[in-house]
Amino acid sequence: MAARGTARRGAGGGSARGPDPQEEPPPPLQAVLVADSFNRRFFPISKDRPRALLPMANVAMIDYTLEFLTATGVEETFVFCCWKSAEIKEHLQKSKWCRHTSPNTVRFVTSDLYRSLGDVLRDVDAKSLVRSDFILVTGDVVSNFNISKALEEHKLRRKMEKNVSVMTMIFKESSPGHHARCKEDDIVIAMDSATNRVLHYQRTQGLKRFRFPMSLFQNSIENVEVRHDLLDCHISICSPQVAELFTDNFDYQTRDDFVRGLLVNEEVLGNQIHMHVTTEEYGAHICNLLMYEAVCSDIIRRWVYPLTPEMNFTDDKNQSYTHSKHNIYRGVDVSLGHGSVLEENVLIGQGTVIGSNCCITNSVIGQNCRIGDRVTLDGAVLWDRVHIADNVEIHHSVICDEAEVKEKVKLKPRCVLSSQVVVGPGITLSEGTVISLHPPDEEEEDDDQFSDDSGVNKESKVKLKGYNKKDVGSEGRGYLWKADDKNEEDEEEQRQSLWGPAMHSEEESESDSDLSMGSEEPDSRAASPQLDDIKVFQNEVLGTLQRGEEENISCDNLVLEINSLKYAYNIGLKEMMQVLSKVILEFPLQQLDANLDSQTYFSALVPLLKNWTPLFKNYIKRASDHLNALCAIEEFFLEHDSLCTSIAKVLMTFYQLEILEEDVILNWFSLRDTSDKGKQLRKNQRLQKFIQWLEEAEEESSDGDQD
């Protein structure tokens, strides 16, 4: 196969084949396609089928990605698979991409050891697969972008300034509120408008305020643009250096780590990242079901032209559609019953039979489905061989292969029925119900199959014996994964992790939904997987300090480690200060016993504080830092009532060690906007004495000055 491929290449090279402008003798354009998401956002759907093969308007996502690469002139693609690699391989080998006439040679690299994008790129470097600039995409990108212009810019930049720019990221312009804008991928970017250089890259994570480093505006750059109207397509043009950088920095897990690391170390390493913004073409990365739905409807509405269903770009005989008015696409042998109406934006796969008096709008129906009479489908996505009985109503839900919905079932928005599930008859599934044949707690067994951990619910539920008839109906088959129950926080979070942050939950904090950034090491994950970044960071700091204590590591090294953690988790200075104070105050509790009395607690704490004074001094520099530290101390003592009495002593120690200054302590004490508890704390006798002492001391010193 390979030999033939090269022979063909040699023969075909001379003739005018294809429009590729990259045809000049220098190395062919290569691409690295990561056919694994390294997270569980699509659980339980992706339990049966890898994410790259999920059908998007009846065509597997990876086909869109490959078509995009081929259309843009890529001649060699490395497909990296991990989870269910055999299935992906089988799918691709059957598709047109592996025919010898394909202008894009697809090569597979499989390993179960990949845990993240970082591992893949390290492997790219180790095997030295890429020879020149390459395109990095994941297997769930849908785009009709023509990369050649961005590629030219990239190459020009690299020629002008030898190897300074290592990566060009592709963004699509789309204003906030656009339905294809993924909340969790929302980013704020600061760029140099003259050179398109990325200066600052930050995920919004639902934050309302953003901090930009001052240095951004103090540099000699004339125009700094801060943009929030960009959609990250997750397409990047990388130079071979990118793979090397991943090897050098073994802690880079995701592209975000890489971008952040590069921007932070820009002055040291001298590497830059650039961006390319497209307005015309389409590009989207499907990271959750909400995006899945949005991109599906964009494909049907022809935004991704020419990747529309009737173009049949996969050259699959079963995938020929006709396109008629109001974006109705019909496959071969579709039968539509008497009185049934296809309103608009409907795609019906080959061999599907629809009964009479149905009303279907904005839906995708797979191949060989059976749909009964008087069925209403609105925004439904049905995969292949789904059976729907009479009088069913389905709104904005996903129903996977071979699932069955019995009579008079009603599916409220955002339900998911994974493959072969049966529900009904006569029940109503509430909003956000997810039903799968896999029991929900089974997931821990194959935990190691995944490298990332979003939304793993380890608070194990009671293993269901048999199917719960209440959830799935009297003839139903399947386990309820989660219902939309607002009382239970975890479940809410899980629902979000599948559908992504819901439309209506804008005001909610979304820190939980972006765990994929966290990329924790396995051990911290095992402890409590649902932590947000700050908590994970706190754990890490605690671990570091513990080690420092045990192994007697010098403070300088500790500072170094904590600094690197700070960058890894993108923690602000303020949070950093709070976390550090809290961790140190909690330290004796962790070490000895949770129920210490204040006396022993204090005596355990003092040597620690003395040891780590340089640590504090390193971080506490400005007045606001002092205040932050004090707030954290206050918070800690509020949480641990029994230790309240020692607060004065602790503060005294801080004061004596010259970590905290008296002005700030006084300032803090006089803060008005505190809770009742805080006020009570301030009434603590010893504390008041301490403050009094401080005040006197100050007066004395000022008196002294006057003399």
Partner 1 sequence: MPGAAERGSELSEQIEAFAARLRRGGERPRSEDTARQTLSLLRKIVGNGRWSRAGELMDLIRTEGQRMTAAQPSETTVGNMVRRVLKVIREEYGRLHGRSEESDQQESLHKLLTSGGLSEDFRTPYPSLRANVIEAINEMLIELEGTTDNIAMQALEHIHSNEVIMTIGYSRTVEAFLKEAARKRKFQVIVAECAPFCQGHEMAVRLSKENIETTVMSDAAIFAVMSRVNKVIIGTKTILANGALIAVSGTHTLALAAKHHSTPLIVCAPMFKLSPQFPNEEDSFHKFVSPQEVLPFTEGEILAKINVHCPVFDYVPPELITLFISNIGGNAPSYIYRLMSELYHPDDYEL
Other beta carbons within 10 angstroms of residue 228's beta carbon come to 12
With contacts defined by CB under 8 A, name the span among 301-309, 467-475, 506-514, 640-648 that binds partner 1: 301-309
Residue 204 CB, shortest distance to partner 1, in Å, is 16
Tell me which of 158, 172, 255, 649 binds partner 1, using CB under 8 A.
172
What is the x/- site pattern for partner 1, positions 388-407, by CB under 8 A? Answer: --------------------
* 149 makes contact with partner 1 (CB under 8 A): no
To the nearest 10 degrees (0 to 180), the angle between helices 555-568 and 255-264 is 130
Tokens 């904590």 belong to residue: 562
266, 344, 586, 661: which one binds partner 1 (CB under 8 A): 344
Q: Which of 30, 37, 202, 327 binds partner 1 (CB under 8 A)?
A: 327
On the CB side of 594, how many CA atoms lie within 13 Å of its CA?
1
15 binds partner 1 (CB under 8 A): yes
CB of 381 to partner 1, least distance (A): 16
The site that binds partner 1 (CB under 8 A) totals a number of residues, namely 47
Sign of the dihedral defined by the CA atoms of residues 621, 624, 625, 631, in that order = positive
Task: Give the H or E element holding residue 154.
Answer: helix 148-160
Q: How far is the CB of 332 from partner 1 (least distance, A)?
A: 13
Shortest gap between Cβ of 349 and partner 1 (angstroms)? 17
Select 85 or 144, whichever has its Cβ closest to partner 1.
144
Closest CB 306 distance from partner 1, rounded Å: 5
Buried b (16+ CB within 10 A) or exposed e, 479-491: bbbbbbeeeeeeb
Beta-strand runs (E) in 608-677 = none
Report the alpha-carbon distance of residue 379 to residue 375 in Å, rounded: 13
User: Quick check: 487 binds partner 1 (CB under 8 A)?
Assistant: no
Q: Measured from the CB of residue 169, what is the shortest distance to partner 1 in angstroms?
A: 18
Is position 13 an interface residue for partner 1 (rule: CB under 8 A)?
no
CA distance 555 to 261: 24
According to the binding rule CB under 8 A, does residue 176 interact with partner 1?
Answer: yes
Distance in Å, CB of 325 to partner 1, minimum: 9
Given a contact cutoff of 8 angstroms between Cβ atoms, the answer to whether 571 and 534 are in contact is yes
* Nearer to partner 1 among residue 301 and residue 412 (C-beta): 301
**Residue 651 zone, left/alpha/beta (φ > 0; ψ -120 to 50; rest):** alpha
Structure tokens at 300: 């049907």
Q: What is the dihedral of CA 484, 489, 494, 495, to 10 degrees?
A: 30
Q: Quote the least distance from Cβ 185 to partner 1, whole Å.
A: 16
CA distances to 35, 163, 567 from 269, rounded to whole Å, are 30, 11, 16
Please tell me whether residue 101 binds partner 1 under the rule CB under 8 A. yes
Cβ proximity to partner 1, 12 vs 522, nearer residue: 12
Phi, psi angles (nearest 5°) of residue 314: -85, -5
Between residues 71 and 262, which has the closer beta carbon with respect to partner 1? 71
Map residues 542-581 to x or -, x wherever contact with partner 1 holds by CB under 8 A: ----------------------------------------
**178/182 Cα distance (integer angstroms):** 9
Going by the DSSP 8-state scheme, the letter that residue 208 receives in this structure is: S
Q: Which is nearer to partner 1, 76 or 575 (CB)?
A: 76
Stretch that binds partner 1, among 173-181, 389-397, 415-423, 532-540 (CB under 8 A): 173-181
Contact between 2 and partner 1 (CB under 8 A)? no
Write out the two tokens for 246: 């991943």
CB 293 within 8 A of CB 284: no
> Mind giving me the DSSP string for 6-71?
HHHHHHHHHS--S--GGGSSSPPPEEEEE---SS-TTTTHHHHS-GGGSEETTEEHHHHHHHHHHH
Sites for partner 1 among residues 210-249 (CB under 8 A): 229
Interface with partner 1, residue 152, by CB under 8 A: no
**303 binds partner 1, rule: CB under 8 A:** yes
Give 11 or 526: the residue with its C-beta nearer to partner 1. 11
Q: Which is nearer to partner 1, 326 or 689 (CB)?
A: 326
Interaction pattern, residues 260-299, with partner 1; x per rule: CB under 8 A: -------------------xx-x-----------------
What's the Cα-to-Cα distance from 130 to each of 33, 68, 233, 629, rounded to whole Å? 12, 19, 22, 49
- Judged by the rule CB under 8 A, the positions of this chain that interact with partner 1 are 7-8, 11-12, 15, 17-19, 70-71, 100-103, 144, 146, 172-179, 229, 279-280, 282, 301-306, 308, 310-313, 320, 322-324, 326-327, 344-345
